[in-house]
């Protein structure tokens, strides 16, 4: 096993919006790519977490820091989709409503 990150971040900028797609592991390895993608927070940010297979407290911290920075610049920030893994962790952390995390497709709503 190598030291290559097991997560990836793809950013697409258009008309003052940066759409971010996180896939695989959302951890410390994505902190620099995330910071570079958002820059000074002067863009609206949409984050797709539907491809996340692992997320730790660093992933949560990165979401909260990015949200704070973007909102501080008067811009909008939202999570557009979440995998069951990301949703479950954010739910346990009590952040689903605060961050407006959508319920993953196919989720058993009786467990939510």
Residue 70 φ then ψ, to 5°: -65, -45
**Alpha-helical segments (H) within 1-112:** 31-38, 57-72, 84-92, 96-99
Mean pLDDT within 48-60: 96
Q: Are 59 and 23 in contact (CB under 8 A)?
A: no
Tokens found for residue 58: 């660093």
Vertex 100, ends 99 and 102: CA angle to 5°? 125
Q: How confident is the model at residue 4 (pLDDT cuts 50, 70, 90)?
A: low
Strand partners, 30: none
pLDDT of residue 3: 58
Tokens found for residue 107: 């989720």
Q: How confident is the model at residue 109 (pLDDT cuts 50, 70, 90)?
A: low
Q: How would you label 90-109 residue by residue, b for 16+ Cβ within 10 Å and e otherwise?
A: bbeeebbeebebeebeeeee
Domains of the chain: 7-105 (3.30.750.24)
Mean pLDDT within 85-95: 95
Q: How many C-beta neighbours within 10 Å does residue 59 have?
A: 24
């Amino acid at each position: 096993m190598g030291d290559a990150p097991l997560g990836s971040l793809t950013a697409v900028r258009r008309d003052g919006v940066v759409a971010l797609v996180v896939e695989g592991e959302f951890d410390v390895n994505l902190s620099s790519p995330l910071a570079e993608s958002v820059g000074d927070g002067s863009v609206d940010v949409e984050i797709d977490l539907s491809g996340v297979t692992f997320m730790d407290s660093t992933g949560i911290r990165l979401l909260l820091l990015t949200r704070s920075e973007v909102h501080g610049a008067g811009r909008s920030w939202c999570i557009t989709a979440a995998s069951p893994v990301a949703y479950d962790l954010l739910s346990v952390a009590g952040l689903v409503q605060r961050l407006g995390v959508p319920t993953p497709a196919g989720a058993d709503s009786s467990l939510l």
